[in-house]
Structure 1
C-alpha cells in the first residue's frame, strides 16, 4: 500500500437497512481507522451525505423509502464520490444497472468483510491518490464566476480578476473536482506537479490569496471550504 495513504483521513458512509450488516462493516472499517457513518434508509443516507464530509459510499440496493438505485442517481447528480453497491442479488442486469447509474464497484452478499475493506481501500486510492485534471471546456460558469480557459481569464460578475498562473491552476483544480475533498498532497500534485519538493503549506498561502481575489464586497464568488485535518473542498452554488 502507498505509505502516504491513511485510512483515518477518509469517511465512509454505509447505507443498509440490515442492522447486523451495518454493524459488521462498521466494525471492520473502524478497525482500519476509517471514520464511519451509518444509515438504515435511503433518505437518511442522502441526508448524511449532504451534511457530512463523505469520501466513499457503501450502498445497499434494497432499502426502505428510497432504494439504492434512487440514492445512487441522486448522489451522482451532484458528486463524483465513489460508490460501492452491495446487494443480495447477483444478476448481471443489476450490476449493469448499477454501473449505468454511476456506481464504481459492486459486491454481492454474502461477502467477505476483509475483501470489502480491500475493495474500499483500492477504490479510495484510485479516486483520491491519483487525481489528474482533464482538459477543461472552453468556458466554465459557476454561479457568478466565469472562466475562459483558452485565454485563462477569470471573471466575477463580469469583472476581470487578475490571477497568477498558480492561483489560476489551483482554482481550476477545485472547479474540476466539485464536492471532493482534496488534500494538500493532491493539490500539490495537480497544481505544482509530481516533482515539487517544497513545503506543502504553500497550498494554504496560495489559497488564501485566491479566496481574497475572488471575494467581492464580502461575498465569496467561489465556496472553497477548509476541512480541518482532511483538506479543502469546492461546493458549487446550487
Structure 2
C-alpha cells in the first residue's frame, strides 16, 4: 500500500493506550485513539482506518458490540485485547469477526508483532493463493480479484481471514486439509493460535454460504482428517 498505514486503538485504560500508541508510532504507523466505542465508530465515519486494536472490556458500548457494528460495513483486520483467558471467550471474539486476539497482560512488542503479521496477511495479494480464481455455480460466486463473495447475487460480507480460508479451498477443490495445514496456509507460521480457530471460521463461512449450514455441500467435514471443498451438487 502506498499510503501510510493508519491504526485505530480503542482502549479505556490510558496507560495502555499511551504505551501502544508510542510503540506503533515508533514503527512508522499513523495512530488514532479512542477510549470508548462511540468515539471509535465516529472515527471510522471520518477517516480511513487500516487496522483496529480493540479492547473487549469498554465502558457503555462493549468491544464485542463495536466489533459487530464494524463488521457490518468493513473487513479491516481486527486485533482484540482481552483480560479473559477462557478458550470459549476467545472463540466468541473470533466468531463475531476478530482476526486475532491477545490476552492481558501483554508486551507492547508482542502487539507490534501481531499488528505486522495481521497487516501482511490482510493486505498481501490474493493471487499467490489462486491465480485470478473465480468460482460461480449460479448460487455461490467468488471473485478473487475483486475480493467479493455473492450468494444468490447478494454481496456477503467476509472478514479477511474468512476470505483467505475460502480461497484456499477453492484453489484446491476436493483436497482434504487438516486443521494444521489450514492454519499454516491462512495465518502463516508466525501464528500461535489454536486449531479450533479454524473450526470457528469454517462455522462462520458455512452460515454465510450454505443453504443448510448443518448439512454443508461446499465446505465438508471429513471426520478424523479435516475439511475439503465439495462444490455445488
Query: What TM-score bracket applies, with the shorter chain setting the length?
Result: 0.5 to 0.7
1:115 is displaced (CA, Å) by 1.0
Q: Which structure has the larger Rg over C-alpha atoms?
A: 1
- Unmatched 5+ residue regions in structure 2? 150-154, 158-233
2:148 pairs, out of 176, 179, 194, with: 176
- Unmatched 5+ residue regions in structure 1? 140-148, 150-168, 180-238
1:173 is displaced (CA, Å) by 4.2
CA distance in 2, matches of 1:68, 1:44: 12
1:130 is displaced (CA, Å) by 2.9
1:34 pairs, out of 29, 32, 35, with: 29
1:107 pairs, out of 90, 99, 102, with: 102
Q: Is the 8 A contact 2:84 2:90 kept in 1?
A: no
1:131 is displaced (CA, Å) by 3.3
* Cα deviations by residue, 1:172-214 (Å, 9 ceiling, x for unpaired): 94573999xxxxxxxxxxxxxxxxxxxxxxxxxxxxxxxxxxx
CA distance in 2, matches of 1:111, 1:73: 24
1:79 is displaced (CA, Å) by 1.1
CA distance in 2, matches of 1:72, 1:113: 22
- Number of residue-to-residue matches in the alignment: 146
Aligned to 2:49: 54
Q: CA RMSD in A?
A: 2.9
Q: TM-score, normalised by structure 1?
A: 0.55
CA distance in 2, matches of 1:129, 1:94: 29
* Cα deviations by residue, 1:94-139 (Å, 9 ceiling, x for unpaired): 1010010010000011101101101100100111023346636578
- Segment of structure 1 superposing worse, 42-51 or 13-22: 42-51
1:67 is displaced (CA, Å) by 0.7
1:64 is displaced (CA, Å) by 1.3
- Secondary structure of the structure 2 residue equivalent to 1:85: strand
Aligned to 1:156: none
Aligned to 2:16: 21
CA distance in 2, matches of 1:134, 1:29: 35
Aligned to 1:43: 38
Aligned to 2:73: 78
* Cα deviations by residue, 1:59-107 (Å, 9 ceiling, x for unpaired): 0001112111001101111111000000111111210100100100000
- In the TM superposition, 1:100-179 aligns within 5 A as 100-132=95-127, 135=134, 173-174=145-146, 176=148
2:82 pairs, out of 83, 87, 95, with: 87
Change in 2 beyond 3 A, CA 1:31/1:76: same
